[in-house]
């Protein structure tokens, strides 16, 4: 796999470089509520700027349906990127052709998913868009893949364009792959995985892949209630995937899964709900579990304290609401306090770290790609990585 360093070892001054970044940040109207992914894109962009490249950044936001939608415009991202880079970053349209960008300058291409060919299942459609993207940086241009959060997608700006231009792995993608290789290789033991989030179905494949390789798997979040139901416990109105109960029962037979012993329950899904903390086997009818309880945090903390390697993906509760944030905070603080090599698997976990004001440098690595991280750990084929590893003509 050729890397950004390989590209920078050549003379890129005045050369066009298309950078695929992952700038899919959460927005409240036009306000970015977590700019972590934008910050993560800066080292590669700045390295290219410093070398005098003409940088065109491609990215997406959300899932627009079939065409331009102001709700998904990257305009707020262009503004924030410019603030962080200390220079104006114009937002340009693909339809306008090759942008005016000088050596050391940066432009951001409007949401690449506004073009339905980006996500098309038709190879020819994606290839046609890839050729248009390649044309933005000219015949001597290069492509740098730096959006780890999208490398599991076979999309025009991720996969196909790497077949049109000399392609290189950006610093962010390279760092992410090296971290995940460490987790899937021979990690220091005990190796503990913490999984949360809402649905078992979202994590079932990664659980089945990880269980033979880990020493303990701690389960929280909404997904824990399907496991509790598999033990025959009543879970009130908590989130339940009845079609996954048998799967959970089978997975519990490994003896490696640790479930909450107490939960914070509420009479409704709201920040102002009435709440109580109850044993996991005593959830009242009509109440829903929205966080793990303090005894569970203490039990998880004990396991994490002995761990040498930790991978965490998914919050322990509805951390966005203050009454249900203590579980996620407690587990995160336990990981920080441990001496383990610790990886936060992107997505909501990374957002929680920042939203709760926790020290990001307390973790060994915070991934920018939740879905991509999980698919890598499952052993899945990641098109955006595979295409970089192919022998280039």
Distance CA 123, CA 135 (A): 18
- Residue 142's alpha-carbon distances to 11, 113, 170, in angstroms, are 12, 21, 12
Distance CA 228, CA 222 (A): 11
* Catalytic residue (choose from 20, 37, 80, 256): 37
Is position 181 annotated as part of the catalytic site?
A: no
- Partners of residue 17 on adjacent β-strands: 55, 142
Distance CA 280, CA 224 (A): 10
Q: Any known ligand binding at 154?
A: no
* Catalytic residue (choose from 163, 199, 249, 380): 199
* Catalytic residue (choose from 171, 327, 347, 384): 347
Is position 199 annotated as part of the catalytic site?
A: yes
- 262, two tokens: 């107490």
Q: Any known ligand binding at 22?
A: yes
Is position 171 annotated as part of the catalytic site?
A: no
- Residue 83's alpha-carbon distances to 35, 62, 265, 313, in angstroms, are 11, 22, 42, 30
In sequence order, the 6+-apart residues with CB closer than 8 A to the CB of 318 are 269, 290, 291, 324, 325
Distance CA 275, CA 273 (A): 6
* Residue 253 DSSP one-character state: T
H or E element at residue 89: none
Q: Any known ligand binding at 234?
A: no
Token pair 């065109």 is at which residue? 56
Is position 347 annotated as part of the catalytic site?
A: yes
Q: Any known ligand binding at 347?
A: yes
3-state helix, strand, coil in the chain (%, to 5): 40, 15, 40
* Catalytic residue (choose from 2, 52, 371, 380): 371
CB 377 within 8 A of CB 184: yes
End-to-end CA distance of the chain: 13
Q: Any known ligand binding at 253?
A: no
CB 371 within 8 A of CB 391: no
CB 146 within 8 A of CB 172: yes
In sequence order, the 6+-apart residues with CB closer than 8 A to the CB of 224 are 196, 259, 260, 263, 289, 292
Q: Any known ligand binding at 37?
A: yes
Q: Any known ligand binding at 203?
A: yes
Q: Any known ligand binding at 320?
A: yes
Q: Any known ligand binding at 63?
A: yes
| Helical spans, DSSP H, in the chain | 4-8, 36-50, 75-85, 123-135, 171-184, 200-210, 224-230, 245-252, 294-306, 326-337, 347-355, 370-378, 383-389
Q: Any known ligand binding at 268?
A: no
Annotated binding-site members for (2R)-3-phosphoglycerate? 37, 113, 153
Annotated binding-site members for substrate? 22-24, 37, 60-63, 113, 153
Annotated binding-site members? 22-24, 37, 60-63, 113, 153, 203, 289, 320, 346-349
Active site positions, annotated: 37, 199, 347, 371
Annotated binding-site members for ATP? 203, 289, 320, 346-349
């Amino acid at each position: 796999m050729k890397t950004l360093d390989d590209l920078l070892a050549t003379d890129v001054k005045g050369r066009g470089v298309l950078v695929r970044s992952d700038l899919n940040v959460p927005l409240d109207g036009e306000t970015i509520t977590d700019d972590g992914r934008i910050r993560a894109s800066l080292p590669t962009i700045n390295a290219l700027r410093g070398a005098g490249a003409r940088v065109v950044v491609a990215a997406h936001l959300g899932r627009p349906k079939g065409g331009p939608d102001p709700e998904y415009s990257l305009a707020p991202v262009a503004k924030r990127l410019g603030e962080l880079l200390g220079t104006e970053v114009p937002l340009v349209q693909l339809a306008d052709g090759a942008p005016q960008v000088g050596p050391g300058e940066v432009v951001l291409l409007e949401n690449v998913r506004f073009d339905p060919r980006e996500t098309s299942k038709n190879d020819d459609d994606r290839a046609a868009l890839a050729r248009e993207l390649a044309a933005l940086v000219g015949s001597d241009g290069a492509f740098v893949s730096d959006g780890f959060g999208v490398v599991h997608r076979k999309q025009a700006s991720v996969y196909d364009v790497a077949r049109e231009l000399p392609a290189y792995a950006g610093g962010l993608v390279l760092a992410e792959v090296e971290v995940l290789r460490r987790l899937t290789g021979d990690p220091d033991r005990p190796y503990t995985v913490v999984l949360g989030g809402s649905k078992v179905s979202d994590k079932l494949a990664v659980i089945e892949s990880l269980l033979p390789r880990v020493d303990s798997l701690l389960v929280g979040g909404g997904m824990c209630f399907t496991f509790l139901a598999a033990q025959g416990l009543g879970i009130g109105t908590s989130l339940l995937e009845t079609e996954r109960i048998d799967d959970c029962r089978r997975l519990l037979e490994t003896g490696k899964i640790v479930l909450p012993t107490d939960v914070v329950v509420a009479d409704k899904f709201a920040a102002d709900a009435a709440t109580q903390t109850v044993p996991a086997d005593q959830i009242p009818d009509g109440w829903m579990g929205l966080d793990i309880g303090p005894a569970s945090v203490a039990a998880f903390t004990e396991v994490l304290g002995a761990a040498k390697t930790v991978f965490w993906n998914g919050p322990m509760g509805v951390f966005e609401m203050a009454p249900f944030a203590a579980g996620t905070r407690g587990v995160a603080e336990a990981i920080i306090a441990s001496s383990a090599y610790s990886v936060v698997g992107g997505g909501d976990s990374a957002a929680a770290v920042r939203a709760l004001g926790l020290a990001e440098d307390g973790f060994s690595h915070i991934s920018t790609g939740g879905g991509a991280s999980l698919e890598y750990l499952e052993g899945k084929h990641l098109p955006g990585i595979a295409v970089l590893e192919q022998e280039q003509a």
